[in-house]
Amino acid sequence: MPDDELVRAYQRADVFCMPGTAELQSLATMGAMALPHLAGPGVDGFRYPPGNVAVLAAALGEVLRDRSVTVSMGRASREKIAAHNTGHTLTAFEEVYVAADAAV
């Protein structure tokens, strides 16, 4: 799927749910926002005990039931993920490499 089409697909969605328990960097999640280790419960996402479908369903229900929750979490997610743009990420990697080279 072309990148611009993927962005439009995320924009059409009301909810992004990543039920996996091992998503190291989770580019899919970052594409939608940045959930597992970055989620601020109740701010830009929810966490739930792995395998606890009832808690997951309740969290999804809250987001889908209250449009203000959906909007505020979406806004907070976009603000948080902005720090992970390509330019910032490349600069961070470059700084690590420069520091490592200087230490040798």
Give pTM, 2 decimals.
0.51
What average pLDDT does the chain have? 78
Q: What is the pLDDT of residue 7?
A: 72
Q: What is the pLDDT of residue 98?
A: 92
Q: What is the pLDDT of residue 22?
A: 62
Q: What is the pLDDT of residue 34?
A: 41
Domain locations in the chain as residue ranges: 3-103
What tens digit of pLDDT does each residue of 1-51 get?
787 787 777 778 777 777 666 655 565 655 555 454 566 777 888 888 888
For the chain, the first-to-last Cα distance in angstroms comes to 43
Beta-carbon-side half-sphere exposure of residue 4 (alpha carbons within 13 Å): 0
